[in-house]
Amino acid sequence: MADQDLYPVPPEWAAHARVDSAGYDQMYGRSLADPGTFWLDQAKRLDWIKRPEIAGDWSFDKSDFHIRWFADGKLNVSANCLDRHLAKRGGETALIWEPDEPSEEPRRFTYAELHAEVCRFANVLKGQGVVKGNRVTIYMPMIPEAAFAVLACARIGAIHSVVFGGFSPEALAGRIEDCGSTIVITADEGRRGGKRVPLKANVDAAAAHAPGLTTVIVVKATGGAVTMQAERDVWYHEAAEGVATTCPPEPMGAEDPLFILYTSGSTGQPKGVLHTSGGYLLWASLTHELTFDYRPGDVWWCAADIGWVTGHTYILYGPLANGATTLMFEGLPTWPDASRMWQIVDRHKVTTLYTAPTALRALMKEGDGFVTATDRSSLKLLGTVGEPINPEAWRWYHDVVGQGRCPIIDTWWQTETGGAMIAPLPGATALKPGSATMPLPGIDPQLLDPEGVVLNGAASGNLVIARSWPGQMRGVWGDSDRFFQTYFTTYPGKYTTGDGARRDEDGYYWITGRVDDVINVSGHRMGTAEVESALVLHPHVAEAAVVGMPHDIKGQGIYAYVTLNSGQDPSDDLRKELVGWVRKEIGPIAAPDKVHFAPGLPKTRSGKIMRRILRKIAEGDVSSLGDTSTLADPAVVDDLVANRVV
C-alpha cells in the first residue's frame, strides 16, 4: 500500500473524537472478550421500562438455533426516540424537512412537536383498529408524515413494513400479502425532481392483487386528484381532526418485532427481513454515535430514502434515539441541478452527510463547479454506504466536497445487519480510499475459503460474521426455516453475508462485492432471479438469465439475456417493451440496461445455466471465458459473444 493512499487520523480528531485509536482497541477487545458485561453496559444508553439482565443469548448451530438479545428487557422504541428527550431538549429541532421544490419553505419539528405528531398518528391508527403485532404497510413519499407513521407504529407496537415509493403496484401487492397487512398508509402523490409519483393510484392498483387490504390511510401531500373508495379509504387529515396528541407508549419486549423490510436475495421472491426492538435500537443508536462521532448540536443528514434500511436506521431510529437533529430530503441530488445537495448543506448548516457512491459519481460527472459554488464550511464528516466506493469518487468526496477537512466514513452493512458493521471511527482509524476499514465493537468478521476454512492474515475470501450482534435480523417473516437456510448453512455456525472481501496486511477490509446472484444497482439490491421471473411472465419470452455488468454511475447495471418463444422475432420495439414490462412488474430500479436476444443460453448437460460465462460476456471480458467444454452446446457461447449488446 503506497503511503499516499493512507489518510492518517487528523490530530484534532484524535484529540476530540469520542474514541481514539487506543480507545477503539480497548473497546473492541472488551466487546469480544467479555460480551455479556460489555453489552449490558451498552444497554444503558437506552431507556428501559424493565432493564435487561441478560445480553446475547444465541446459537448459530442447527440443533439449537436461536438469536435473542436483552430478552428479559422491556422498552418502547418511540419513547426512546421522543419522550425521553422532552425534558432536556423538547424545544430543540428533531426533524428538518427539505422539500423537493427548493423555493418552498422547509418544515421543522421540535422534539415536542414530533412527539405530538407521532402520538396523533398513533391514535389515528388505533382508531382504525390497529393493535400490537399488526402489520402496517407504509408506501409514502419522503415527507414528515412518513416519519410520523413509522414512529406511530413503534409507539403502539404495530410492525411496520415500509415499501419504497419507487416499487410498482405488483411489487407492493406482493409485500402487503406476504406480511398479511390489512392497512396501507400512503399519500395522494409523491414528488421527486419536479415529477409526480401516483402513489394512491398505485395502491388502488395493488389492492386488486391484495384481497386482505381493508384500510388505506391517505395523507394529502400534493393535493393531486385521487379517487377515494368509501368503506376502504380514509384521509389522514380528516381522521386526525380533534384526535389527542398524547398516546401512552406500548410496553414491548426487547424481542418483540419492530419492523419488516423486504429485500432481494439470490433466489425466489424478496424476503421480509425481521428486526426486533431492543437490540436493533441499541445498534442503531450506538453505531450512529460512534461511527459518525455524533455530538449534540450536529445537523445530521442521511440522504437515503426511508424505503431502505439506511433510512430506517440513520434517518429515523439512530439519530432520534440520540436526540439528534435529522434532516429528511424529499427530492433528488441532481434537481434542479447538480448543486442541490450542497445548497441544502449550506441552507441547514449540515455538519454530517451520509450518502451513496452512486450519487457521488453522478454529481462528479457534472463537474466541480456545482460544488465549489457553495460554501460547505459547516461540514465536519462525510459518510458513504451501499456499495464499494471507487477510490476516484472517494477522493472527490474528500478533496472537493469536504475541502480535505472531513474524514470519509465508508460503512459496510446490510439490511440484515440493522446498522453499520465495518467502518472507520473518525478519531481512531487511518483511512484508505475504497476500504471500509475495521470491524465495529462486537463484530467478529472472518474470511473463509470455499471449503469454509478460516483464512488468516492478508487474504481474500467469503465474508462471514462469526458471532451474533444486537442489530442482527431475527428472521424471515412467515418462513422461519428460510432464515436459517439462507444465512447459516453455507458455512455452518456462521452468518454468511453473501459478500466477498479482502483483508490487507494492516487488517483493513476491502469489500469486493456479492458472491451470489444478487446485483447492486445504485446501492440497491436486486435479485437476478426476481428480474428473470418478471421477464418470463411476458408472453413472448421463453427463458431469461440476468447478470450484473459494470456501470459508470450505478456501479452495476442489469444485463438480461432473453430467449423468445419460437415464432417471435427480436426487434427494438420488443426490447423496449420488455424493459417497460420489468419496470411495471417490479419498478424502475429493476429495468434492464441491456436486453440481449439469445437463441440459446449456455447450459451444462444437466441443464444448469452457466452464469459465470454470461457474466463474463456482459462485462465484455470475453478473452477469459474459462472451461466451456462441459457445455451441452459450446457453439452457443460464440453466438453470444458475437452478439453482445454494448
Residue 516 engages ligand WT7 in binding (rule: CB under 6 A):
no
Amino acid found at 93: T
CB of 444 to ligand WT7, least distance (A): 17
* The one among 80, 276, 352, 520 contacting ligand WT7 by CB under 6 A: 520
Residue 517 engages ligand WT7 in binding (rule: CB under 6 A):
no
Residue 522 engages ligand WT7 in binding (rule: CB under 6 A):
no
- Three-state secondary structure string covering 288-313: HHHHCCCCCCCEEEECCCCCCHHHHH
Residue 385 engages ligand WT7 in binding (rule: CB under 6 A):
yes
Residue 514 engages ligand WT7 in binding (rule: CB under 6 A):
yes
13 or 495, CB closer to ligand WT7?
A: 495
Residue 310 engages ligand WT7 in binding (rule: CB under 6 A):
yes
* The one among 154, 254, 327, 511 contacting ligand WT7 by CB under 6 A: 511
Q: Please report, as residue ranges, which positions from 525 to 544 form the binding site for ligand WT7 (by CB under 6 A).
A: 525
φ, ψ of residue 328 to 5 degrees: the values are -125, 130
Residue 301's nearest CA partner among 247, 343, 272 is 343
Nearest residue to ligand WT7, using CB? 415
Residue 51 CB neighbour total at 10 angstroms: 15
- Contact region with ligand WT7 (CB under 6 A), list: 9-17, 339-347, 475-483, 509-517: 509-517
Q: Is 361 annotated as a binding residue?
A: no
Q: Indicate the DSSP class of residue 57.
A: E
Residue 587 engages ligand WT7 in binding (rule: CB under 6 A):
no
Residue 367 CB neighbour total at 10 angstroms: 11
Burial label for 592, CB within 10 Å (0-12, 13-18, 19+), is buried
Q: Please report, as residue ranges, which positions from 429 to 448 form the binding site for ligand WT7 (by CB under 6 A).
A: 436
Alpha-helical regions (H) of 383-527:
391-396, 480-488
| Crossing angle (nearest 10°) for helices 611-619 and 635-642 | 20
Q: Is 412 annotated as a binding residue?
A: yes
Determine the length of the chain: 646
* The one among 207, 309, 448, 546 contacting ligand WT7 by CB under 6 A: 309
9 or 409, CB closer to ligand WT7?
A: 409
DSSP letters for 544-591: EEEEEEEETTTEEEEEEEEEEPTTPPP-HHHHHHHHHHHHHHT-GGG-
C-alpha cell at 509: 477490509
Residue 94: CB partners within 8 Å, gap ≥ 6? 82, 85, 109, 110, 111, 113, 114, 320, 324, 325, 326
Residue 104 CB neighbour total at 10 angstroms: 11
* The one among 413, 488, 491, 509 contacting ligand WT7 by CB under 6 A: 413
339 or 522, CB closer to ligand WT7?
A: 522
Residue 397 engages ligand WT7 in binding (rule: CB under 6 A):
no
115 or 494, CB closer to ligand WT7?
A: 494
- Contact region with ligand WT7 (CB under 6 A), list: 99-107, 508-516, 533-541, 623-631: 508-516
Count of residues interacting with ligand WT7 (CB under 6 A): 24
Q: Is 84 annotated as a binding residue?
A: no
- Please name every residue paired with 501 in a beta bridge, in sequence order, or none if there are none: 461, 511
Q: Is 502 annotated as a binding residue?
A: no
* The one among 499, 517, 530, 585 contacting ligand WT7 by CB under 6 A: 499
Residue 496 engages ligand WT7 in binding (rule: CB under 6 A):
no
Torsion of CA 535, 539, 542, 544, to 10 degrees: -10
Binding residues for ATP: 386-388, 410-415, 499, 514, 525
Binding residues: 192-195, 310, 386-388, 410-415, 499, 514, 522, 525, 536, 538, 541, 583
Binding residues for Mg(2+): 536, 538, 541
Summarize as ranges the residues that interact with ligand WT7 (CB under 6 A).
263, 309-310, 385-388, 410-415, 436, 497-499, 511, 513-514, 520, 523-525
